[in-house]
Amino acid sequence: MKSTCTLSRNQSKSAENKTSIENQEPAVLGTSYISMAQSSPTMMWITGPHNREFFINDHFLEFLGFPPSDAGFEFWKNAIHPKDRKNTFKRTDSSFEKKKPYKIEYRLRRYDDQYRWVMDNGAPQFDAEGNFIGYLRSLVDVHEIKELEHRKGQFITAASHELKTPVTSLKVYLHLIDEYINEHHLAPYTEYSHGAITQLNKITALIDQLLDLNRIQSSSLYFENTTFDFCELVDEVVKKMQLLHPQREITLQGDCSAQVFADYERLLQAIENLISNGIKYSAAKENGKVEVVMGEDTERVYLTVKDYGIGIAEKHLLKIFERFYRIPGKTEETFPGMGIGLYLTRKIIQKSGGEISVESDYGNFTEFTIKLPVSKDT
Ligand code: ADP
């Protein structure tokens, strides 16, 4: 909530401060550049090659409560929430060193002492000769969006927990019915009960994905790492997926004997996601096989999962690992999904010290590759 009293006091300070901040290196800024920055609804500041500001627009000054003209940079540093400082400085300093763009979210204290979530974007600037001249930084107040996201997360967790209990009971009842059908040789009904169990398993998997998603958001996705044979795990996943999809061809090639240090169940889940996507997105194709290849070198084990399905256009390749990202399009939208699987898969691979990449030829094939470090303690 804005305090009118504070604002009017600060507004009078604005005029004094604004000119002195602009004056520090005015030659670099054109008048139209300044007026554009001043009329922008975004908080903007421009730093020189030594990461010191020489222009801060009014909107940003107003947010900070019009700090004294000589305190701009330090003021920003001190206004960051103590819990976010370390990470923010690490990220901005390292981008500054490499002269790379960055995007970071942190809490920043507003003029009324309220901490607000802001999204800080930094773009390095170069002159005509390619010399680095500083950063153009823009900050957007994303507090409301963050709060809505938080509430959405809470809702998803609550709804998933509420669903989990009846679904678990349903599973027990269905298994009892299935047993009864088997004992009494009621053959035609076996198919129905198996069908119901398969569908219920799909619902359980969806609920688990939603719960995992929220665990990631709240940093409580725990990993119990042990050392195990990577290829045995791949073998197990492929066998399991083949059993679940007997009508589809899943091939496994290659070999390895290396051990990895990771959470067995989580890694299994990640590989399962890749294979089930391969199966799903190639279902309508004539060549519906999914090829899994594994191997190793001295440092890493690797796995590729390739399908000959709908493929992914280049512009979507990086985005598919984002949360809830589903590729728009007539063909793509015919497949069910929530855009969570690859997000979770990437998190799991990263948490296991590995990396994941994707290659695709739209309309022809998609190939995911994961690489994981070999565990040296055998
Ligand atoms: P979803 O539940 O929607 O499949 P994912 O996170 O697993 O969610 O995948 C994100 C998006 O990436 C999918 O919606 C789909 O558009 C695309 N995608 C993933 N795997 C494949 C694949 N093997 N072939 C084609 N598109 C894929």
356-369 tens-digit pLDDT: 999 999 999 999 99
- The per-residue pLDDT for range 142-174, each reduced to its tens digit, is 999 999 988 888 898 899 989 999 999 999 999
Write out the DSSP string of 140-151. EE-HHHHHHHHH
Percent of the chain with pLDDT over 90: 59
Could you count the other beta carbons within 10 Å of the beta carbon of residue 269?
A: 19
Could you give phi then psi for residue 129, rounded to 5 degrees?
-85, 0
Write out the DSSP string of 203-227. HHHHHHHHHHHHHHHTT------EE
- What residues flank ligand 1, with Cβ below 6 Å? 277-278, 281, 307, 309-312, 320, 325-327, 332, 337-343, 366
Tokens for 259? 């051990």
**Interval between CA 323 and ligand 1 midpoint (Å):** 11
Tokens for 243? 């059993």
The pLDDT, as a whole number, for residue 18 is: 40
Statement: residue 250 has pLDDT above 50 = yes
The pLDDT, as a whole number, for residue 150 is: 86
Statement: residue 254 has pLDDT above 90 = yes
80 - beta bridge partners? 108
- The per-residue pLDDT for range 305-350, each reduced to its tens digit, is 999 999 999 999 989 999 889 999 888 888 988 899 999 999 999 9
CB 173 within 8 A of CB 153: no
- The per-residue pLDDT for range 12-33, each reduced to its tens digit, is 333 344 433 444 444 455 666 7
Tokens for 184? 């009494």
Determine the residue of 210, 269, 277, 346 to mutate for testing ligand 1's pocket, defined as the one with the most ligand atoms within 8 A of the Cβ atom: 277
The pLDDT, as a whole number, for residue 22 is: 45
Q: What share of the chain is helix, strand, coil (3-state, %, to 5)?
A: 50, 20, 30
Statement: residue 90 has pLDDT above 70 = yes
The pLDDT, as a whole number, for residue 20 is: 34
Label residue 304 by pLDDT band (50, 70, 90).
Answer: very high
Tokens for 258? 């290396």
The pLDDT, as a whole number, for residue 378 is: 57
**Interval between CA 100 and ligand 1 midpoint (Å):** 30
CB 235 within 8 A of CB 252: yes
The pLDDT, as a whole number, for residue 71 is: 65
Collapsing DSSP to helix, strand or coil, 41 comes out as coil
